[in-house]
Amino acid sequence: MLNQTPMMAPEPFRFTPQGGEVVGSAFSPTFRALATVIVGGCAIWFAQLWSRGALGSSTGVSTGAGWFIAGLVLMAWTWWSIMVSRTRISKDGLHQRWVWDKALPFDDLAYAKLIRVPGLGWLIAPRLYVRTLAGKFTVFYGATPALIQEFERVSAELKAFRSF
């Protein structure tokens, strides 16, 4: 006979950042500048091709130009998201403004790991890889020292909490 007794849910993880809430840029200034140069360069390239008539029909938008414009729009949207992306850690959980907002309450957190590229923190923002109790994963970026310090604390405290 099967045991019909429901399993107890794990104890919820609680975390309070130092100072109550930490907010900072998700991406480094160098990365934002590089993204600006790339998107701006592609826009200038498109304008030059268009002015020379190298994209096909001069009377309208050709298929080639249409795809180029669609690509530029996607690049511009991603660029804008990089420029305004902010990560917030509060007592309620993690939140990042991005192409689509990401949020994760601490009570649903099962695993967290800070991932860095040694020597390239000035370019590639450290990120907190997290998994929920249901197994979904999300990545939160943080480019400020305060965010990185809190990412380290979340990871260490969660590891100690879940090791019982």
Domain region containing 117: 88-162
Q: Are strands 86-90 and 21-25 parallel, antiparallel or unpaired?
A: antiparallel
CATH code of the domain containing 108: 2.30.29
CB 54 within 8 A of CB 114: no
Q: Say whether both 94 and 157 belong to one domain.
A: yes
Give how many domains the chain has, as a whole number. 2
DSSP 8-class letter at 109:
E
pLDDT in tens, the chain (164 residues): 566 766 666 678 889 888 889 999 999 999 999 999 999 999 999 889 888 877 765 555 556 678 888 999 999 999 999 999 999 999 999 999 988 899 999 999 999 999 999 998 888 899 999 999 899 999 999 999 999 999 999 999 999 988 86
- In 3D, which of 27, 135, 134, 138 has the Cα closest to residue 93? 138
Based on the fold, state whether residues 156 and 98 are members of the same structural domain: yes
Contact 49, 57 (CB under 8 A): no
Q: Which residues pair with 104 in a beta bridge?
A: 94
The answer to whether residue 68 is domain-embedded is: yes
User: Do 54 and 99 fall into the same domain?
Assistant: no
Which residue in 15, 10, 12, 22 sits closest to 155, CA to CA? 15
Question: What pLDDT is attached to residue 12?
Answer: 83
**Mutual angle of helices 63-84 and 29-52, in 10-degree steps:** 160
Same domain, 112 and 140: yes
